[in-house]
Amino acid sequence: MKPGKFKVNNDGDSLSATITVQPSLALKISLYLLNILLIAVIILFTIGGVGVIVLFILAFEILFIRYSIWHIYGSESITLKKDTLSYQQFYGFFKLSLKTRKINKTLRVIPFHEDFRAGSDAMKLIFESFDESNEPVNLYQTALVVSKQDYQVFMKSFKQLY
């Protein structure tokens, strides 16, 4: 996956970042065509009276539409304050619920290179804190990847906040 569009805003009390998918034209076209094909198959099988197969294809299409919307319009937003981490994912017109996690002692941001190919600088961000017994706890891991340059910009703002 190629790095998404990354925006950082530091207002002194909080740090917010938004990562947005940047799909290629080929990916957009292929996802649209596959969805149209699956919907056409559902309609044809419904007209043909093959109801059991329609249920399975319909269930698959629902999952595939969610996958398609995420890979075309998806974005995620992260907000850091001194004692909380909030995150929310957006599927185009749909928003998932805002989730907030408490930061107990300190917060670390760890870059995670999911793609180990040579020359790939795309990475996910892992936000880690510690619990009451001083054990590391993974508070959140981004679903979308960012570039090395965007990571450095984020870390500069992060160090100003913490």
pLDDT reported for residue 23: 93
Tell me how long the chain is: 162
pLDDT reported for residue 64: 95
Would you say 113 and 120 are in contact if contact means Cβ atoms under 8 Å apart? Answer: yes
Query: Rounded distance, CA 21 to CA 110, Å?
Result: 21
Count of structural domains within the chain: 1
The model's pLDDT over 48-96, given as tens digits with 9 standing for 90+, comes to: 887 788 889 999 999 999 999 999 999 999 999 988 999 999 998 889 9
Residue with tokens 């970042």: 17
Alpha carbon of residue 98 to chain centroid: 13
pLDDT reported for residue 82: 86
Hey, what amino acid is at 107? L
The token duo for 127 is 């936000």
Range of the domain at 152: 1-161
The model's pLDDT over 132-157, given as tens digits with 9 standing for 90+, comes to: 888 888 999 999 989 889 999 999 88
Q: Does the pLDDT value for residue 36 go beyond 80?
A: yes
